[in-house]
Structure 1
Amino acid sequence: MIDLRQLDLLVAQRLRDLGTDRQLAQAKVAMLLGLKEATYARYENASSLMTVGRLLHVFEVLNITPEEFFDPLVNEQPSHSKAESREALREQLMEEMVDHLKKLDDTTLKMVHDLVIAMEPRTIGR
């Protein structure tokens, strides 16, 4: 069974790959979808999730069938071990966390730091 967060990350990667393959900048795809570039960028980095309707609109704009979109994802999955998938997810979560932490003011950052330190003894070995 596929991890849903991993699927979200794979969809985001597929969006990036299609843009690269078709030499379409995020701004261009966003415009074609009637979105702000920042909104589409969040779809490409999986910090925001698309609705099914929005994904269907992407298929239409990029002139791709659902099968063509998902086929590389389906064919890629078996080659990844669970350990590799967990590691990729962990890396993605760490990157996202750092991005969020950079936006915090000093007081809030210190509170988050203290919380993480307090949690550490309970999470060692998990």
Structure 2
Amino acid sequence: MAIKDVQTYIEENRLVETTDEESEKPIYRKPGFEGIRSFGEMEQIFSQFIREHRDAKRLNRAQVGMMVGLHETIFARYERAFSKLQATRLIHLCEILDCSPVEMIHAAAPHFFGESRKEADDKLNLMLRILDMPASTASSLLSMIEGLVGDRDPSKE
């Protein structure tokens, strides 16, 4: 059952009415550290992220395009932010470029990770270290953290 007062939800979640060239109607967004980035700006950040990670792996567009099942010119549309990056394609590219989707999301929307740029960067670095841990270390760390904060289920907060 839907909530009765959407305005209360908007206020409680600190959403701001804004516009974006991709939508004809007003939309609600959560401001980031530099205000509200447009969807187009976020696509530009994704495209830059893909290019930089492809270059770091010393792969060319044709090679990555082949691995994602696209012709080089079609793949290039993602690197120029001409084509929208769907979540499934984002995950596939992260598999190929050996990076975490968390890194790409942090690049475009760091405000999801903390109240300040430093806090967001620290939490990203922590997450990446956790992802690189052996399973036994991660399990021990989780037990230690649960002992410190109690046995809370964040999905119920």
TM-score interval for Structure 1 and Structure 2 normalised by the shorter chain: 0.5 to 0.7
Cα deviation, residue 68, structure 1: 2.8
Answer yes or no: is 1:51 the counterpart of 2:86: yes
For the pair shown, the structure with the greater C-alpha radius of gyration is 2
Relative contact order (alpha carbons < 8 A, sep ≥ 6): 1 or 2 greater? 1
Match of 1:65 among 100, 121, 132: 100
The Cα offsets for residues 81-122 of structure 1, whole Å up to 9 and x where unpaired, read as: xxxxxxxxxxxxxxxxxxxxxxxxxxxxxxxxxxxxxxxxxx
Q: CA RMSD in A?
A: 1.7
Hey, what does 2:66 align to over in structure 1?
31
How far residue 60 of structure 1 moved from its aligned partner, in angstroms, is: 1.2
* 1:13 is the counterpart of 2:48: yes
Q: Distance in 2 between matches of 1:20 and 1:66?
A: 17
Whether 1:4 aligns to 2:39 is yes
Structure (1/2) with the larger helix percentage:
1
60-69 or 11-20, which moves further after superposition?
60-69
**Which amino acid is 1:14 matched to?**
F
Match of 1:110 in 2: none
Q: In the comparison of the two structures, how many residue pairs are matched? A: 76
Distance in 1, matches of 2:84 and 2:108, equals 17
TM norm structure 2: 0.44
Deviation (angstroms), 1:50: 1.9
SS where residue 19 of structure 1 aligns? helix
* TM-score, normalising length: structure 1: 0.54
Residue 33 of structure 1, CA deviation:
0.7
User: Deviation digits for residues 39-74 of structure 1, max 9, x if unmatched?
Assistant: 110110011112111111111111211123334445
Q: 1:41 corresponds to which residue? A: 76
